[in-house]
Chains A and B, each alone.
Chain A
Amino acid sequence: MLTLFIVTVSAYVLGMLAALFSGRSAIGRGLVAAGAAVGSIAGLALGVVVITSGIPFALASTRFLPLTGVALRLDGMGAFFLVVVGLVGCAASIYGFGYSAQYAGRYSLRTLGVMLNLLLLTLTFQVMADNALTFLVLWEAMSLTAYWLVVTEHDQRGTVRAGVWYLAMTHAGFAALIAMFLLLSSTDLTTSFASMRAGSALLSPAARNAVFLLALFGFGAKSGIIPLHVWLPMAHPVAPSHVSAILSGVVIKMGIYGLLRILLDIMGGGPAWWGGVVLGAGAVSALLGVLYALMEHDLKRLLAYHSVENIGIILMGMGAGLIFHSYGLMTLAALGFISGLYHTINHASFKGLLFLGAGSVLHATRTRNMEEMGGLIKIMPWTALFFLVGAAAISALPPLNGFASEWLVFQSLLGGSNIPTPEVAIVMPIAVGMLALTSGLAAACFVKAFGITFLAIPRSPEAEHAHESPRPMLAGMALLALACIALGLAPFVVVPALGRVLVGLGGLPDTHAVFSFNLYLVTPSNFAIMSPTLVALGLLAVLGLVPLVMLLFRANWRLRVGDSWGCGRVGQTPRMEYTATAFAEPLRRVFAELYRPTKELSIDFHPDSKYFVQSIEYRSEITPWFEKALYGPLLWFIRLSAATVRRMQSGSVHMYLVYVTVALLILLLIARWS
């Protein structure tokens, strides 16, 4: 294990050095990617070894590490997140080798390479942190490197603004985390997690509740749960696409990791309302996330809103787990947490894949606006295929991975019938309904995303002259597409492994007997049984039956290729195609109360007659009322107080000397009386 750890760290460090010394050349880019990929694979292997062996990996250098206040220890749960980091990191860095070529001469490849490797390195250490200080330092390092990566394309419109929002939100969360750890460790941040675990039981209920709320805020700001999500749809799209994949696939998952670490591991679970709050936040994030995604025509922003949605789904599983945990139903609790973790790795793989696919489209067409795409399936068939796999997986279509994990989330929510409390009996079915609506809308959204982007005929010259991505980019996508299929087909391997990861955390039992290595997924007390593997075989059989039936009925096999039927119309132009706006219009009407769309229609008539229209301009926007209602007053207050404080800054040295004197006097007075 130590060898793997050393390989991981040194590969990342070598990647950084390569970026520093020869970042601009193709060889440099290759070395950067190789460093990141090797590091990721070694990290993944380390995670797998820890999970399968069940032995935590602690860094045993007793002489040096304790002096620095750093403590590193990799347990099962950390190992699981290390696997997630490795999976997405490897694919994204291979992809990045091809993708970053376009940055040569425009943006700093040196910064990009260093920061990419540094981010993966901090993520690796993040899941190993074993005391509050290490955790917080790495958390901040992760946030800052991510910020650097977000502002890579700094001269594009909106990039810097997105970076500022991200920085502000993540630091608000960071402040909450510091407060939380101070509460947990009774102000000594170098206390190890083990002693925090022992100490957390002694905390008063009020302090425990405060820790819960601070954790939810701090980690929620990182994960982008609604209403703390505003930075996410801004920051993720403007980052380079392989970085977006890491941000959406892995970095926001660190919030999930933190929540699990604090709530389940260190606090050992809590009262049922904690679970209720987590479940509620998850349900709201899931539903609103997908509703906003539906209205989005910027391909990458659409995917970013889907990250909000999927974080919501993960939180719903975790929330259900916390509720069962508080009622002592440990097997069901394990099912809830397993479904959340399973969806975590699934979301990492398919969202990573989708962001890479969107990056390929962006690389080929130079636009993120879906209304200017179309017909790309003919020009870039591989990208289209991989994107389709990702889209089917995120829409939870069997036999891909999204289906398996969402099915488990459903089952854990339906397990709520085992708790005879009216509150739970009301909340759980509502959550089931919201999850069902979310899944349906997600499928609709990806019909739009795939259909408008890849099908029909090109809507712009850029789309017409697109090109297939270079090999490394395709390889990165292929890796994640395979992961999507494998994770979907083999839940009988994944689920017991996740069960083993969770054993002992917060007193969760060994669920190995309940989720055995079997073709079927069986939920506790045989409530439901499903086998994605058999579903896949069934689908294959049905696909095979089609030609058989055609043969039996002596169908006409001759193939004729012709144009799409357009009612015999002569000028079949892209203007006649279905647009993304039109596709989403029915839902915009249904949920008008939420979107509050503004419409502007200006018609330019011919000067002589009103019957001849020269041009029509239609503009419609949906009101981002989170920013308006929630953040508007906050921003106003911050601006006001900043303006007030600024008056103190007169620029005159005499004034500053007065400030120093007054401050000193006040301090002396305080010291006198205290």
Chain B
Amino acid sequence: MEADIAIIVRQIDERARRLFGRSLHIREVDAGSCNGCELEISALANPYYDMERFGLHFVASPRHADCLLVTGPVTRNMAEPLRRTYEATPNPKIVIAIGDCANTCGVFKDSYAVVGGVDQVIPVNVFVPGCPPEPVDILQGILSAINRLPAK
């Protein structure tokens, strides 16, 4: 298990270095999540997964990011900020929608407060299913998103 994680993260890093010329920088956007997905995402930085050892960073501004991790159904209040965040991220960029809500709105479907899935607001490269998805799934999602980008 642990070896698998190391392999995935190393692959992400290698691909990212080739594509962006540096290790991958990630901006996380909570578009209205129940914070279940956030727990799993923050687990990426814990000593077990420890993705920073391969240079994957969470950053504080989309201006510094190559990759957006978006969680939750997009609420009405977060639709515009999410769009602005996407616009503020420099190209080339990848967007990964984390969790079922980000895809189908999950239990919040048809709520008056919800605009829809993340792809209703900004283009999404990869959906990671799960409620919430495991950290390994998230890493797999990032890897497949990078793999799908056209090679430089």
Which A residues are closer than 8 A to B by beta carbons? 553-554, 556, 558, 560, 562-563, 565, 567-570
Contact = CB atoms under 8 A, between A and B. Distances in A.
The residue in B61, B81, B84, B91 that gathers the most chain A C-beta atoms within 10 A of its C-beta is B84
A551 to B, nearest CB: 14
10 contacts: A554-B21, A558-B91, A562-B87, A565-B62, A565-B63, A567-B81, A568-B80, A568-B81, A570-B80, A570-B81
A565 B87 CA distance: 10
B88 A562 contact: yes
Contacts of B84: 563, 568
Nearest to A566: B84
A242 to B, nearest CB: 43
Contacts of B61: 565
A568 B29 CA distance: 11
A568 B63 contact: no
Nearest to B83: A568
B45 to A, nearest CB: 21
Contacts of A560: 90-91
Contacts of A556: 90
B125 interface: no
A569 B21 CA distance: 30
A479 B95 CA distance: 53
Given A562-B88, A568-B84, 20 more contacts: A553-B21, A554-B21, A556-B90, A558-B91, A560-B90, A562-B87, A563-B84, A565-B61, A565-B62, A565-B63, A565-B88, A567-B81, A568-B80, A568-B81, A568-B82, A568-B85, A568-B88, A569-B81, A570-B80, A570-B81
Tell me the interface secondary structure of chain B in the complex: helix
A569 B61 CA distance: 13
Contacts of A558: 91
A554 B152 CA distance: 12
The residue in A563, A567, A569 that gathers the most chain B C-beta atoms within 10 A of its C-beta is A567
A562 B80 CA distance: 15
A562 B91 CA distance: 13
Interface residues of B, number: 13
Contacts of A569: 81
Interface in B42-95: 61-63, 80-82, 84-85, 87-88, 90-91
Contacts of B90: 556, 560
B24 to A, nearest CB: 16
A128 to B, nearest CB: 61
Contacts of B88: 562, 565, 568
Interface of B: 21, 61-63, 80-82, 84-85, 87-88, 90-91
Contacts of B91: 558, 560
A335 to B, nearest CB: 49
Nearest to A555: B21
B117 to A, nearest CB: 19
A533 B132 CA distance: 63
A382 to B, nearest CB: 30
Contacts of A570: 80-81
Nearest to A553: B21
A554 B22 CA distance: 13
B32 to A, nearest CB: 13
B138 to A, nearest CB: 22
A558 to B, nearest CB: 8
Contacts of B82: 568
B65 to A, nearest CB: 11
Contacts of B85: 568
- Sorted from nearest, which 8 A-B pairs have the closest CB atoms? A568-B81, A568-B84, A568-B85, A565-B88, A570-B80, A565-B63, A565-B61, A562-B87
Nearest to B64: A565
A563 B90 CA distance: 13
Nearest to A570: B80
B72 to A, nearest CB: 15
A565 B63 CA distance: 8
The residue in B61, B81, B82 that gathers the most chain A C-beta atoms within 10 A of its C-beta is B81
A566 to B, nearest CB: 8
A417 to B, nearest CB: 48
Nearest to B80: A570
A562 B61 CA distance: 15
A554 B81 CA distance: 32
A565 B81 CA distance: 11
A554 B21 CA distance: 9
A559 to B, nearest CB: 11
A189 to B, nearest CB: 71
A102 B81 CA distance: 45
A570 B76 CA distance: 12
B110 to A, nearest CB: 25
A558 B62 CA distance: 18
A570 B82 CA distance: 11
A561 to B, nearest CB: 11
A563 B87 CA distance: 10
Contacts of A563: 84
A253 B91 CA distance: 56
The residue in A553, A556, A563, A565 that gathers the most chain B C-beta atoms within 10 A of its C-beta is A565
A565 B88 CA distance: 7
A558 B90 CA distance: 10
A568 B74 CA distance: 14
Contacts of A553: 21
A534 to B, nearest CB: 35
Contacts of A554: 21
Contacts of A568: 80-82, 84-85, 88
Contacts of B62: 565
A565 B64 CA distance: 11
A570 B77 CA distance: 10
B92 to A, nearest CB: 9
The residue in A556, A567, A568 that gathers the most chain B C-beta atoms within 10 A of its C-beta is A568
A560 B63 CA distance: 12
Nearest to A572: B84
Nearest to A554: B21
A553 B84 CA distance: 29
